[in-house]
């Protein structure tokens, strides 16, 4: 589905390519987590994918078509929920629909209400964002991302700002959502356990500049539960990943 | 008694107390040509009501209103221009600041020479004093729109004008109201200063005429009127603001 071919990117303020001839592929319908330490360039990969940054060289394609020729091909969910505080939750959620040609007000509203009830926020369309809790806001933000109607979703550490227990329940909630929608998901996190619980594949950033993502498949079947994380092979995988990340810290 | 009145009660009591102190002090001093008592001032306003309310107040309000309107248009235009381009900001910002270093009262007599005794010399004073707070505050408001929100919209396919309409305007709106609330009293002061320095009507002019007649209460009467008008105008703006801005400074 998504493919990076020899992609390089350099920030103006830096004298090296933070993304250095990177190639990788994401299969349709899979959940992929990119893990790496802070500042390693994970988010840069996202920003290249959603078009906020332009690659210096190389090509990013979706189903073989360069993203430069595509529009609205991915739904991007930022780290902070970024709900606009002056709009109702419903108006926030229908925002992506405003840029998709003529859609009637009523249809937008219907779709917003539909997707809100899908994420468990029925009756919240007319509330203001500040009336929602942190977890509810993230769910609203996810609902908004779904209304981009994109096959590919980019989720940038969506749960990192939540408290521990909310985060656990949101992870389980996202597992459910993924089963339901069967989207292709690219997920950034630095929480190894979160990555294992959610992903088909984990893409590890082992060093910066990023020239390679080490792909590790998670040997767990869906539907998953948190209990499975206690399996011996999973615990070993977790240790391995933590070691990999740690090795990078000391470099 | 409603909530607002309750909140203002301490201030009202304190002001009443100050007025009593003033009244007693002024009576003891017994030099009403320098320090009239509050009651004398009120009496004066009543005596001169015809001239004050039908001639001089409208004259000052005309200058204030036109000056404020020009300032708002000019301030918004400058703020939007500075926000839209780095080069424009670098060019204009120092200039805008420089206008505020002009000791306006000192050069205002020149305006009378340049623009005549009519309303334009006063309007120039009012505009020079008010466009600055409007420009800077609205500019800050436009800046306060978070880059991440704009980026999110861009991933949905929004164009620059749409980003401006959807994010920048709502973000700048509370700032705009603060700016205008600040500008109203300043504009009134500006108009009065202009009239002091050379005019044929207006409350500033009237106050000065009373001064030359050593009529203390007559000097104060138009000033009290100016303060009252400014307070009423700000209160009206606060009501409008409440209707327009349902949120303020979240996150």
Q: What is the pLDDT averaged over residues A155-180?
A: 87
Interface of B with A (CB under 8 A): 146, 148-149, 151-158, 162, 166-167, 170, 173, 245-247, 250-251
Task: Give the position of tokens 């009378």.
Answer: B112
- Candidate from A52, A72, A96 with C-beta closest to B151: A52
Indicate if the pLDDT at residue A34 is higher than 90.
yes
- Candidate from A76, A130, A148 with C-beta closest to B250: A130
- Candidate from B146, B156, B247 with C-beta closest to A99: B156
Indicate if the pLDDT at residue A60 is higher than 50.
yes
Indicate if the pLDDT at residue A140 is higher than 60.
yes
Torsions phi, psi for A211 (to 5 deg): -115, -5
On chain A, the residues whose CB falls within 8 A of the CB of B153 are: 95
pLDDT of residue A169: 86
pLDDT of residue A251: 55
Q: Using an 8 Å Cβ cutoff, are B188 and B196 in contact?
A: no
Q: Using an 8 Å Cβ cutoff, are B222 and B56 in contact?
A: yes
Number of domains in chain B: 1
pLDDT of residue B251: 41
pLDDT of residue A148: 92
Distance from CA of B177 to the nearest CA of A (A): 15
Residue B28 resides in a domain: no
Range of the domain at B75: 58-244
Distance CA B127, CA B121 (A): 10
Indicate if the pLDDT at residue B130 is higher than 80.
yes
pLDDT of residue B56: 93
Indicate if the pLDDT at residue A154 is higher than 80.
yes
CATH number, domain at B193?
1.10.3720.10
Task: Give the position of tokens 């050593």.
Answer: B214
Residue B185 resides in a domain: yes
B246 and A78 within 8 Å at the Cβ level: the answer is: no
On chain B, the residues whose CB falls within 8 A of the CB of A76 are: 152, 155
Helix (H) or strand (E) holding A187: strand A184-189
Residue B94 resides in a domain: yes
Q: Tell me the residue length of chain A.
A: 251
Q: Lowest-pLDDT range, A22-26, A137-141, A171-175, B183-187? A: A171-175
Q: Could you give the dihedral angle defined by the CA atoms of residues B104, B108, B114 and B119, in that order, rounded to the nearest 10 degrees?
A: 110
Indicate if the pLDDT at residue B181 is higher than 90.
yes
Distance CA B9, CA B172 (A): 32
What are the pLDDT digits (tens) for A61-120?
999 999 988 888 899 998 888 999 999 999 999 999 999 888 899 999 999 999 999 888
For residues B129-156, one letter each, b for 16 or more C-beta atoms within 10 angstroms of the residue's C-beta and e for the rest, the string is: bbbbbbbbbbbebbbebeeebbbbbbbb
CA B153 to chain centre: 36
What are the pLDDT digits (tens) for B52-91?
999 999 999 999 999 999 999 999 999 999 999 999 999 9
Q: Using an 8 Å Cβ cutoff, are A225 and A169 in contact?
A: no
Greater confidence (B42 vs B250) lies with B42
> Residue A51's closest chain B neighbor by CA?
B155
Indicate if the pLDDT at residue B1 is higher than 70.
no
Position A177 confidence tier, pLDDT thresholds 50, 70, 90:
confident
Q: Lowest-pLDDT range, A56-60, A63-67, B195-199, B205-209? A: B195-199
Indicate if the pLDDT at residue B112 is higher than 70.
yes
Q: Is B52 exposed, middle or buried (0-12, 13-18, 19+ CB in 10 A)?
A: buried
Residue B86 resides in a domain: yes
Indicate if the pLDDT at residue B4 is higher than 80.
no
On chain B, the residues whose CB falls within 8 A of the CB of A148 are: 155-156
The DSSP-derived string for A189-230 is: ES-HHHHHHH-SEEEEE-SSSBS-EEEEE---PSSP-GGGGG
Indicate if the pLDDT at residue B192 is higher than 70.
yes
Question: What is the average pLDDT score of chain B?
Answer: 90
What are the pLDDT digits (tens) for B9-25?
899 999 999 999 999 99
A128 and B246 within 8 Å at the Cβ level: the answer is: yes
């Amino acid at each position: 589905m998504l493919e990076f071919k020899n992609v390089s990117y350099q920030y103006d303020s830096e004298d090296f390519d933070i993304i250095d001839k990177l190639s990788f592929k994401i299969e349709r319908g899979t959940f992929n987590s990119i893990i790496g330490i802070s500042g390693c360039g994970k988010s840069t990969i996202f920003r290249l994918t959603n078009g906020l940054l332009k690659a210096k060289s190389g090509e990013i394609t979706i189903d073989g078509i360069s993203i430069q020729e595509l529009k609205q091909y991915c739904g991007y969910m930022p780290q902070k929920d970024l709900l606009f505080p002056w709009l109702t939750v419903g108006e926030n959620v229908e925002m992506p629909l405003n840029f998709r040609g003529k859609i009637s007000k009523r249809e937008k509203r219907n779709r917003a209400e539909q997707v809100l009830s899908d994420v468990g926020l029925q009756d919240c369309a007319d509330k203001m964002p500040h009336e929602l809790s942190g977890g509810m806001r993230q769910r609203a933000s996810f609902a908004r991302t779904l209304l981009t109607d994109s096959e590919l979703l980019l989720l940038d550490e969506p749960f990192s700002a939540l408290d521990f227990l909310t985060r656990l329940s949101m992870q389980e909630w996202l597992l459910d959502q993924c089963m339901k929608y069967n989207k292709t998901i690219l997920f950034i996190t630095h929480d190894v356990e979160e990555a294992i619980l959610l992903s088909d594949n984990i893409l590890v950033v082992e060093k910066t500049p990023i020239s390679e993502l080490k792909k590790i498949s998670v040997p767990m079947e869906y539907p998953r539960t948190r209990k499975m994380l206690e399996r011996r092979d999973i615990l070993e995988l977790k240790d391995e990943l933590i070691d990999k990340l740690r090795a990078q810290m000391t470099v | 008694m409603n909530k607002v009145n309750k909140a203002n009660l301490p201030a009202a009591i304190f002001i009443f107390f100050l007025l009593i102190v003033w009244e007693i002090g002024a009576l003891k001093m017994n030099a009403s040509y320098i320090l009239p008592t509050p009651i004398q001032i009120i009496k004066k306003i009543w005596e001169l009501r015809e001239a004050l309310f039908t001639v001089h107040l409208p004259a000052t309000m005309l200058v204030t209103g036109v000056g404020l309107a020009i300032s708002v248009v000019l301030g918004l235009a400058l703020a939007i221009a500075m926000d839209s381009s780095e080069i424009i900001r670098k060019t204009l910002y120092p200039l805008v600041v420089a206008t505020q270093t002009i000791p306006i009262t000192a050069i205002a007599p020149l305006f009378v020479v340049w623009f005549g005794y009519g309303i334009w010399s006063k309007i120039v004073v009012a505009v020079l004093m008010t466009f600055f707070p409007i420009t800077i505050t609205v500019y800050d408001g436009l800046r306060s729109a978070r880059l991440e929100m704009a980026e999110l919209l861009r991933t949905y396919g929004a164009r620059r004008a749409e980003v401006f309409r959807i994010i920048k305007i709502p973000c700048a709106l509370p700032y705009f109201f603060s700016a205008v609330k600040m500008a109203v009293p300043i504009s009134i002061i500006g108009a009065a200063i202009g009239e002091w320095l050379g005019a044929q009507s207006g409350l500033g002019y009237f106050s000065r005429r009373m001064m030359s007649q050593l009529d203390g209460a007559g000097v104060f009467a138009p000033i009290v009127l100016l303060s009252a008008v400014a307070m009423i105008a700000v209160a009206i703006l606060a009501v409008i603001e409440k209707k327009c801005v349902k949120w303020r400074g979240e996150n």
